[in-house]
Amino acid sequence: MFLSRRTAPRLSVGEAYSRTRGDRPGAVLLDVREAPEWSAGHAPGAVHVALTALVAGAPLPQAAQELPLVVICRSGRRSQRAAQLLVERGAEAVDVEGGMNAWASAGYPVVDERGNSGRIA
Whether the CB-CB separation of 63 and 47 falls below 8 Å is answered with: yes
> Please, are residues 109 and 67 in contact by the beta-carbon 8 Å criterion?
no
Residue type, 53: A
Q: What's the rounded Cα separation, in Å, for the pair 14 and 106?
A: 8
Task: Say which DSSP state 75 is in.
Answer: S
43 is catalytic: no
Catalytic residue among 8, 70, 71, 73: 73
DSSP H or E run through 81: helix 77-88
Residue among 7, 20, 5 at smallest CA distance from 72: 20
Residues identified as active-site: 73
